[in-house]
Structure 1
Amino acid sequence: MSYQPSNPIIVQGDFSLLLEVDNPLFQSARDEVAQFSDLEKSPEHIHTYRLSPLSLWNAAASGLTAEHILTALEKYSKFDLPQNVRQEIEDQVQRFGRIKLIQEDCGLFLVSDDPYAIQEIASHKKLQSYFRGPVEGQRIPVNPMMRGHVKQALIKLGFPVEDLAGYEQGTTCPMSLRSVTSQGQALALRDYQQMAADAFYAGGSNRGGSGVIVLPCGAGKTVTAMALMGQLQTETLIITTNITALRQWRQELLAKTTLTEDQIGEYSGEIKEIRPVTITTYQILAYRQDKSSHFPHLEIFTKKNWGFIVYDEVHLLPAPVFRVTAEIQAKRRLGLTATLIREDGLEEDVFSLIGPKKFDVPWKELEKKGWIASAHCIEVRVPMPGPMRLPYAVADSRAKFRIASENPEKEAVVHRLLQRHPDDQVLIFGQYIDQLESIAAVLGIPVITGKTPNQERIRLYDAFKSGSQKRLVLSKVANFAIDLPDANVAIQVSGTFGSRQEEAQRLGRVLRPKVGDNRAYFYSLVTANSRDQDFAANRQLFLTEQGYKYSIVRPEELND
């Protein structure tokens, strides 16, 4: 067995990768393994990644070969690779593309060069209702209405289908990106935005047209989608997270593309417009009167001959939209997100129904180039006051988390941080409305929650953008798709348990590039030695994978 003690990785037979943080090769090794594995744990000195079938299928779909992955691991590994790991990488990478879905004049077919794989698939009783007939040589005829369902079922059996069946063109909608925005600012795609658009479009071939683009908040996912709309020239349905995001999309389309007011429709709880480019929300699509009722607004997917559907913040895709997406696989589908992590574990469904990851770029790489702000992450460990200790000690696990999250000592820390950043644009995030309203009242800061009327939200956001209001307290409604480019300090007083996705989104609120030193600060207030601290460790995993480090301080150290 060869031994390279200066290398930073130990590859283990259980498919985990142990990566030494203090090794000089840490950054370059991390950038490599992040392309084909998932971060699991990130304590101070050793980070643990894991190879999984899905991580390897995404790598294969992005063009990585088994040879590339093995070469990277051999380059950075202290020891020889375990034989079972080597074999698993080769097997899983080869699985993507072993089964293909193709369109011929006589219909839709699953095909493979592997006759045994075709026979195995054909023998599954659960799949047979999706087929139009028996095996024909090395292909199976598939009901075209079941295109998404069969892919969804096959990935659960370990067969990630490469969908080459092509797409309907949709009704033509001429549009293009402007070279100068309506505000008179020069507009050109950044290099990585062009690369992302090219990776998705794939020259217009059937190898492109469906998949996910992963870019940090503030890195221009919206502009990348607009560039693709310009390439496709087709009527487009855009689905986003809330009414505020919907109207921001509308403003961005009018400012940065040649689309006119009468070409863009809003389909929301307030307005029901269907136009060549229509923007709606997950909330309205998932609405129904009660659990036994149908979803009345899902018919929007068939209201027009859409050629392109954009799923903004695709990691939030709700179950009803998953179901209808399974039935519209002939439409080009783009998912946009800062992180593919889903707390419900449905990443495989995103892979099979929206498509594989088409483009990703390390956040730190964009930071180095100045495309996003340099962020300093600080975890402030706040002591638990004496009167809280007994209620905390006797509470169940869920109640322990809430008690610790709502630690009243956090208010004083927020006040201290605001004194530390007197001239900065500050966003204060939290999970619990009583806590947020208390902080807002004590500090005299406006608060936005789910109860805040849309017009009032827009007024407060506009005041923040203009600089007349430098501080806002925000509930979960502001986790996604709010455009506050001048925000440079985020203070998180509580969060949704161990949500890595939420942590990334909240940091993303302050990552838009800044004039001057291009620096942002992200403070996470955590009750020391509590469930709050336990969940904080999990929340930080995704950002740690992106290369961020959390400084851990006590409140009294904030003055240093």
Structure 2
Amino acid sequence: MADVTLSFEDGTIRVAGGADLDLPVERDPRSKTGRAPAVRYAALVAALDGRDVDYDDRVLAAPALDGRDVDYDDRVLAAPALDVASAYELREYQQTALDAWRANDDRGCLELPTGSGKTVIGIEAIEKLRTAALVVVPTIDLLEQWRRELETEFGIPIGQLGGGEQRVEALTVATYDSAYLRAEDIGDRFGLVVFDEVHHLGSEGYRDIARLLAAPARLGLTATFERPDGAHEAIEALCGPLVHRIAPDELAGDHLAAYDIKRLDVALSDEERAEYDEHRETFTNYLAQSNLDMRSGSDYRKLVMRSGSDPAAREALLANQRAREVMMNADAKVATLADLLDRHQGDRIIVFTAHNDLVYRLSERFLLPAITHQTGASERREILEKFRSGSYSRVVTANVLDEGVDVPDANVAIVLSGSGSEREFTQRLGRVLRPTEDGGRALLYEVVTEATAEERVAERRH
């Protein structure tokens, strides 16, 4: 008879016996059992193996990819399975990344540029482990993209959680929102979980997905692992550390398009300058009087909290917002865009802005198809399909094409405005890095309003 029994219960691992083993569990004296978050399953097994303890592992009820239920005594990662085979052949850099993940006991995160084939690496991980796998993605577009790829490569039914469906199969794709709602119910169904755009896992609510899943094997994929709020440290604890990183420059010219980044400085008009300076003065005067420093995230949060009860703080916050709108929507930026569109008439162009208002202004002015968070799914798909086919050669957007959308190839990106986020900039650059048939260089233009706070914003994102 086993000394210890492990079982899965509502997102936790229940440990019967082993009270004298000092395992990483919380003990319940009434039931004489221990309990730990499901994420600790692999650590518990390792601890028991290290102590040479006889135990009965009933945690994973995951079927192998041949449809056979795995016996409790035959843990899922070692189970024989269908000879699933992908038509993909990994490039050398993809194989190196996968090898680094496997060498870390099939746990950890990979950072590769947009367009470098992160999905291919995820599919190869599933093929190598041949265990039931859950793929978690941030958007419906990515959910549909992953489901199509898995169906094509493996030829088996693919489950879907999200987008109006709630169906679990040995291979299942879920949005982060749906996985959050279902994790404690399905946490014992998978031996591998793949977190696409894993930086989303750092959000407080989404962390529970990883906590409630027992899957021993965990793979995080992203183009930008580190988060400015430091939440990547939580991701490391839940999914594993960053085990391999490839910068865009390492692949440019060979596997991705060679690229240039050009910064174009524009000036505010006299009227815009007067309005900008007035609003900035209101804002900076309040900061000086209140001894606040906007380089500190905590001080900015203090300002936001004060604005609820302090009229002066609210006025300062609004003044800063209005100053940003002036510098980001400057008339000279629109004139510069006109020049760039004329210069690149034969190219495929994505124009990025920070505000929806400017998107619609540019759409009307230059007859550009527009995509914002307000654009319906069917309309967005139609625009992107026409962009893919060549019916449209340019599109303007605010943030929603930064990630999580299968964007057709473009070779010119024009950033009219954006945040100081390195992640946002890297993702926008990635939209033009897929190699073209003619081997041409990709171009990213940054249009920056000189002598404004936008200069510091541009420096931060580099």
TM over 0.5: yes
**Alpha-carbon separation, structure 1, partners of 2:243 and 2:94:** 12
RMSD: 3.0
- Residue type of the alignment partner of 1:146: A
**Alpha-carbon separation, structure 2, partners of 1:311 and 1:195:** 19
Residue 258 of structure 2 is matched in structure 1 by 374
User: Contact (CA 8 Å) 1:246, 1:280: kept in 2 or not?
Assistant: yes
Deviation at 1:285, TM superposition (A): 4.7
Q: Kindly provide the CA deviation profile for residues 178-220 of structure 1, in whole angstroms up to 9, marking residues without a partner as x.
A: 33xxxxxxx4110111122222123xxxx41211011111100
User: Contact (CA 8 Å) 2:184, 2:213: kept in 1 or not?
Assistant: no
After superposition, the Cα gap between the structure-2 partners of 1:344 and 1:133, relative to the gap in structure 1 and judged at 3 Å, is: farther
Deviation at 1:246, TM superposition (A): 1.4
Matched, 1:390 2:298: no
**Alpha-carbon separation, structure 2, partners of 1:448 and 1:300:** 36
- Residue type of the alignment partner of 1:432: H
Q: Structure 2 regions of 5+ residues with no counterpart?
A: 7-13, 26-33, 50-58, 66-81, 284-319
After superposition, the Cα gap between the structure-2 partners of 1:224 and 1:169, relative to the gap in structure 1 and judged at 3 Å, is: farther
**Match of residue 241, structure 1, among 123, 138, 148:** 138
Residue 426 of structure 2 is matched in structure 1 by 504
**Match of residue 200, structure 2, among 301, 316, 341:** 316
User: Contact (CA 8 Å) 2:5, 2:16: kept in 1 or not?
Assistant: no
**Alpha-carbon separation, structure 1, partners of 2:130 and 2:380:** 34
User: Contact (CA 8 Å) 2:134, 2:173: kept in 1 or not?
Assistant: yes
Residue 84 of structure 2 is matched in structure 1 by 176
Deviates most, 215-224 or 448-457: 448-457
SS in 2 for 1:142: coil
- Residue type of the alignment partner of 1:249: W
After superposition, the Cα gap between the structure-2 partners of 1:524 and 1:258, relative to the gap in structure 1 and judged at 3 Å, is: same
After superposition, the Cα gap between the structure-2 partners of 1:301 and 1:284, relative to the gap in structure 1 and judged at 3 Å, is: same
Residue 191 of structure 1 is matched in structure 2 by 92
- Residue type of the alignment partner of 1:230: E
Matched, 1:411 2:334: yes
**Alpha-carbon separation, structure 2, partners of 1:524 and 1:485:** 21
User: Contact (CA 8 Å) 1:238, 1:312: kept in 2 or not?
Assistant: yes
After superposition, the Cα gap between the structure-2 partners of 1:337 and 1:146, relative to the gap in structure 1 and judged at 3 Å, is: same
- Residue type of the alignment partner of 1:362: A
Deviation at 1:225, TM superposition (A): 0.3
Deviation at 1:274, TM superposition (A): 2.1
Deviation at 1:248, TM superposition (A): 1.5
**Alpha-carbon separation, structure 1, partners of 2:214 and 2:137:** 19
Matched, 1:338 2:239: no
- Residue type of the alignment partner of 2:86: R
After superposition, the Cα gap between the structure-2 partners of 1:135 and 1:535, relative to the gap in structure 1 and judged at 3 Å, is: farther
**Match of residue 327, structure 1, among 166, 188, 212:** 212
SS in 1 for 2:238: helix
SS in 2 for 1:515: coil
**Match of residue 348, structure 2, among 410, 425, 429:** 425
SS in 2 for 1:373: coil
**Alpha-carbon separation, structure 1, partners of 2:18 and 2:269:** 69
User: Contact (CA 8 Å) 2:179, 2:209: kept in 1 or not?
Assistant: no
**Alpha-carbon separation, structure 1, partners of 2:446 and 2:236:** 32
**Alpha-carbon separation, structure 1, partners of 2:207 and 2:161:** 19
Q: How does 1:266-345 map to 2 (within 5 A)?
A: 266-285=160-179, 296-299=181-184, 301-302=186-187, 305-317=189-201, 318-345=203-230
Matched, 1:525 2:409: no
> TM-score by structure 2 length?
0.75
Q: Structure 1 regions of 5+ residues with no counterpart?
A: 1-103, 109-129, 152-160, 180-186, 287-295, 541-560
**Match of residue 477, structure 1, among 400, 404, 417:** 400
User: Contact (CA 8 Å) 1:269, 1:284: kept in 2 or not?
Assistant: no
After superposition, the Cα gap between the structure-2 partners of 1:196 and 1:177, relative to the gap in structure 1 and judged at 3 Å, is: farther
> TM-score by structure 1 length?
0.62
After superposition, the Cα gap between the structure-2 partners of 1:283 and 1:149, relative to the gap in structure 1 and judged at 3 Å, is: closer
Q: How does 1:137-156 map to 2 (within 5 A)?
A: 140-143=22-25, 145-146=35-36
Deviation at 1:149, TM superposition (A): 8.0
User: Contact (CA 8 Å) 2:142, 2:404: kept in 1 or not?
Assistant: yes
Deviation at 1:416, TM superposition (A): 0.9
Deviates most, 314-323 or 224-233: 314-323
How many residue pairs end up in the alignment?
Answer: 379
After superposition, the Cα gap between the structure-2 partners of 1:299 and 1:461, relative to the gap in structure 1 and judged at 3 Å, is: farther
Residue 59 of structure 1 is matched in structure 2 by none
User: Contact (CA 8 Å) 2:24, 2:44: kept in 1 or not?
Assistant: no
Deviation at 1:312, TM superposition (A): 0.7
Q: Kindly provide the CA deviation profile for residues 323-342 of structure 1, in whole angstroms up to 9, marking residues without a partner as x.
A: 23123354321110112121
Deviation at 1:482, TM superposition (A): 2.6
- Residue type of the alignment partner of 1:415: A
Deviation at 1:475, TM superposition (A): 1.9
**Alpha-carbon separation, structure 2, partners of 1:409 and 1:533:** 15
SS in 2 for 1:326: helix
**Alpha-carbon separation, structure 1, partners of 2:387 and 2:179:** 30
SS in 2 for 1:422: coil
Deviation at 1:518, TM superposition (A): 3.7
